A and B are shown apart, each in its own frame.
Chain A
C-alpha cells in the first residue's frame, strides 16, 4: 500500500524566512510525485510533478526536489501570499491512475 507522510503539519514563517517542507513516501514503483497548493475553501491546485530521483522543478519562490524516499518543497524568501496548505501525493505501479495524498503542511507566512 502506498503511503505518504508530510512534515511538519504546520509551519509559521516570517516573510523572507526560507524553509523546506518534507514529504516522505513508500510506493511500489513510483510513477510520479505531485505537489499541490490548497487555499482555504478551494480545491488543490497543481504545482509540480517529479518522476525520478535527482529531478528538480522550480516555479517562482518554490523548488521541489526528489530522492528515492522523500521530496522537499523549498520556499525561498516567502511572502504572505504563499500562505496555504501544501499537499504531496504519489502514484505507484499498483494504483492505476489513483493518487495517494499526504496530510499536508499548513504554511503561514507573517508579514
Chain B
C-alpha cells in the first residue's frame, strides 16, 4: 500500500481481556517495528522484524506481549490479560532493507497512525 496501515484506530477493552492489533506495512519494506507511546511520552521500542531473521523481542515489557509477522507482510501484536498500564498508542513502522551497516537511508521509518488502546 501507499503507507503503513494500522487497525483498529481505537480499541477500548476491559481489564483481563486479550487484544490483537494489526499492522500492514508498506509493500516491499522488509523491516517492521512496533513501538508504544504513553500519553505525553516518547516512543518505547517493543519488537522488530527484519525479513526472515528471528525478531528482536528485547523491548517487550512482559510475556503478556507477543507479535507475529507473516513473511514480509502483515504483523499482529497481541496483548494477553490486558492491564490498565497497557493503555497507550501502539505505533507500527516499516523501512526498507539495510543490506550493510554503511547504507544510509534518508527516510528512517514510515509510521502508521497508531492504535489507541484504552484498558478500563
Instruction: Show the binding face of A for B, using Cβ within 8 Å.
Output: 4, 6, 31-32, 34, 36, 41-46, 49, 51, 87, 89, 93, 96-104
Q: Is the CB of A46 within 8 A of B110?
A: yes
- Tell me the total A-B contact number using a CB cutoff of 8 A: 66
Chain B residues within an 8 Å CB radius of A100: 45
CA distance A27 to B97 in the complex (A): 22
Whether B91 pairs with A101 at a CB distance below 8 angstroms is: no
Q: B interface vs A, CB < 8 Å?
A: 4, 31, 33, 35, 41-45, 48, 50, 56, 91, 93, 95, 98, 101, 104-114
- CB neighbours (8 Å) of A42 from chain B are 113-114
Question: A49 contacts B50, CB within 8 Å?
Answer: no
* Cβ A51 vs Cβ B104 within 8 A: yes
Least CB distance from B72 to A in Å reads: 14
Question: What is the chain B residue whose CB lies nearest that of A4?
Answer: B42
Taking a contact as CB atoms under 8 Å apart, the answer to whether A97 and B101 are in contact is no
List 19 A-B pairs, Cβ < 8 Å: A4-B42, A43-B93, A43-B112, A43-B113, A46-B108, A49-B104, A49-B107, A51-B104, A93-B101, A96-B50, A97-B50, A97-B95, A97-B98, A98-B45, A99-B45, A99-B109, A100-B45, A101-B42, A103-B41
- On whether the beta carbons of A97 and B111 are closer than 8 Å, the reply is no
Instruction: Choose one: B31, B101, B113; the contact of A41 (CB below 8 Å).
Output: B113
